[in-house]
Structure 1
Amino acid sequence: MAGGSSSSCRIVCLATLVVVMAGILFSGEKSVVMAQGGCKGDLQGLLKECMKYVSKPGPQIDPSPSCCAIVKDTDIKCVCGIIPFPIVQTISSAKVAHVAQFCGNPLPPGVKCGS
């Protein structure tokens, strides 16, 4: 299973790099405003705390309390609309919907986030 952990790290590291390169503006401890689209939320926190729950490989599992804390304070619909394509390819839309629902911030019907 060591290979799976390494693969997860590569996905998260790549996603973080892509986000930084996409011109994300981070400000404040809890509030992060994205330069593209102006979405409310902490995208860096989402990547760090929630990526393992929405990545395509592996089973669908309930997210951690730390992931949910970030999801609750994020405009998920907005974030889904501006996620860079390389990240979209690595996440499962069904898992994103599950995490959002589980954390009490469900996606509106018809919103797709991930592939």
Structure 2
Amino acid sequence: MAATSTCLTLTILVVFGTLIYNTNNVSAQCGGSLPALISECSKFVQKSGPTIPPSPGCCAVIRSFDVPCACKMVTKETEKFVSIQKTVFVARSCGLKLPAGMQCGSVKLPPKAMK
């Protein structure tokens, strides 16, 4: 089980690394620290597993990002490993106001939190 978790975390890191490379550095364009985001929030947004409320540490990091800006950077490759629905749930659980109709990757945000 630990090996599977480590492999998944490594995969998420590679995907986020690819995202950084392909978008000329998300952190520079959208604020925040991508390594901190990965460290604090990856377990809450990975595709597998249940939707769980984010930790205070994750919320602190995600509040430092311009989430609408980061949503514009999401690629199909990212969506293979990161659940946009869980990402929206995490952002809204952390108190961020994401407007209904905003596009985040391939997902158009509904008015209510997504599960």
TM-score range for the pair, normalised by the shorter chain length: 0.7 to 0.9
Residues 39, 20 of structure 1: CA spacing in aligned structure 2 closer, same or farther, 3 A cutoff?
closer
Corresponding residue for residue 105 of structure 1: 96
Q: Does 1:54 align with 2:55?
A: no
* Higher mean C-alpha displacement, 85-94 vs 65-74: 85-94
Residues matched between the structures, number = 105
What is the TM-score of this pair, normalised by structure 2? 0.75
- Mind listing any 5+ residue stretches in structure 1 that lack a counterpart? 26-31
What is the TM-score of this pair, normalised by structure 1? 0.75
The 8 Å contact of residues 62 and 91 in structure 2, kept in 1 or not, is answered as: yes
SS state at 1:13 partner: helix
Corresponding residue for residue 9 of structure 1: 9
The 8 Å contact of residues 96 and 113 in structure 1, kept in 2 or not, is answered as: no
Q: Does 1:81 align with 2:82?
A: no
Give a deviation string over 1:48-107, Cα, whole Å, max 9, x none.
211111111000011111110011121111101113432232111210111001111132
Give the whole-Å Cα distance in 2 for the aligned partners of 1:4 and 1:113.
28
Corresponding residue for residue 24 of structure 1: 25
Q: Which amino acid aligns with 1:102?
A: S
- Between the aligned residues of both structures, percent identity stands at 34
* Higher mean C-alpha displacement, 71-80 vs 2-11: 2-11
**Aligned-pair Cα RMSD in Å:** 2.2
